[in-house]
Amino acid sequence: MKILTIESSCDETAAAVIDGNRNVLGASLASQIDAHRLYGGVVPEIASRAHLEAILPVVADAIDQAKITLDDLDAVAVVNEPGLAGSLLVGLSAAKAICVAKDKPLIAINHLQAHVYACKVAFDENLFPCVGLIVSGGHSSLYRCAGPIDFELLGTTIDDAAGEAFDKVAAMLGLPYPGGPSIQKAAEKGDPKAYDFPRPMLHEPDRMQFSFSGLKTSVRYKLMGTGKVDYEDLNITEQERADVAASFQEAVCDCLVGKAVQALKKCKMKTLCVGGGVAANKRFREKALDAADRYRFKLYIAPPKLCTDNAVMGAVAIERYKAGLFANLDLDVSPGLVRDKQ
């Protein structure tokens, strides 16, 4: 079995060729970080246009690395939910075109299921059932995962996602985009106990939800007070900047790990699988490992290169292929995250 997987849900154009044993035969990725850095975040229209330019070269590169042709594929898989509508459409259109031209079946991929499945790709162990935690720029969600494609939403963020909060606080501190790596680097010289920022939702164990807007606002008030002040006018020392970064990072990580532990207890499960860009954060990994040791659960966190958006995690398509779950060519994108099961 050889499946071409395509990822274009946000600002990374990626393609990979995966065999039936989850071996990566070829993988290619085009990053848009430089294009969005000027704006301090992802601009949907710019992302869509960048995908249009990159999609064919990226697919061709993955196919060349695998030393096959499109005719050798058994299926084409593509992320169609959730994500940015324009970005998703580029990947979906390319996948459909290949399926029509080469008479190959189409497989739809859920981006969040793929993030959890990255742990399966990395560790090649039986991870399910488990609680899945997806933490990224657009998502902070907890799932009860009965199987690799059988997910039940436990809760998600009621406002900002963790990665979004990292980006916005980094902007407040005058740190470059993307905010996650910038905050982590600044925090290395800071005191995580310097400022007592709030841990929203952490003391509500019955609510499997996250909230980072209030935490972000608390950081702003600490830096600038309640008045209208431009970030450019911020006057703090480098040590103060580091202390704010470390204290903010600590608060976010406490919330993510704490709610994941609550979800494990609620679901009576002993395995936590984590994916998404924020999962690459070193402090988050440290606190998650400490929690796993303290509460005696198995922890699987995808390696950093599989945390950020990529097509290798699209290997979840293998599970849909084996189950005979193919999509029709009238498949559409579904940009939003369903929240009605909370």
DSSP secondary structure of 45-75: HHHHHHHHHHHHHHHHHHHHHHT--GGG-SE
b/e per residue 203-235 (b: at least 16 CB within 10 A): eeeeebbbbbeebbebbbebbbeeeeeeeeeee
How is residue 230 written in tokens?
């431009």
* pTM (predicted TM-score): 0.93
The structure tokens 């907890």 sit at 142
> Assign residue 124 a region: left if phi > 0, alpha if psi is -120 to 50, beta otherwise?
left
Both tokens of 317, joined, read 């398509």
Distance CA 197, CA 277 (A): 23
All residues at 6 or more sequence positions from 16 whose CB lies less than 8 Å from its CB, including other chains:
4, 5, 24, 25, 26, 27, 28, 62, 310, 311, 312, 314, 315
Residue 49 vs residues 53, 61, 90, 311: alpha-carbon distances, Å: 7, 19, 9, 19
* pLDDT recorded at residue 196: 96
Report the amino acid identity of residue 76: V
The two three-digit tokens of residue 266, written as one number? 């609620």
Q: What's the sign of the alpha-carbon dihedral 127, 319, 141, 31?
A: positive
Q: What does the alpha-carbon distance between residue 241 and residue 235 come to, in Å, rounded to a whole number?
A: 10
Q: How confident is the model at residue 226, as a pLDDT?
A: 73
Identify the segments of the chain with pLDDT beneath 50: 338-342
Q: What's residue 228's pLDDT?
A: 62
Write down the pLDDT at residue 230: 65
Nearest to 9 by CA among 48, 49, 43: 48
Max CA separation in the chain (angstroms):
62
288 beta partners: none
Tokens, residue 245: 């970064």
Domains and CATH numbers, the chain: 2-115+309-322 (3.30.420.40), 124-306 (3.30.420.40)
Give residue-wise pLDDT tens across range 286-322.
Answer: 999 999 999 999 999 999 999 999 999 999 999 999 9
Whether the CA torsion 318, 319, 320, 323 is positive or negative: it is: positive
| Stretch (H or E) spanning 43 | none
Structure tokens at 270: 């002993």
Sign of CA dihedral 125, 277, 256, 245: positive
pLDDT of residue 339: 41
Task: Give the number of other CB atoms < 10 A from CB of residue 47.
Answer: 24
Question: Which phi and psi angles does 87 have, rounded to 5°?
Answer: -65, -45
The two three-digit tokens of residue 291, written as one number: 């929690």
Residue whose tokens read 């035969």:
25
Give strand ranges (E) for 232-330: 271-275, 298-301
- The rounded radius of gyration (Å) of the Cα atoms in the chain is 20
Give residue 193's region: left, alpha or beta (phi > 0; psi -120 to 50). alpha
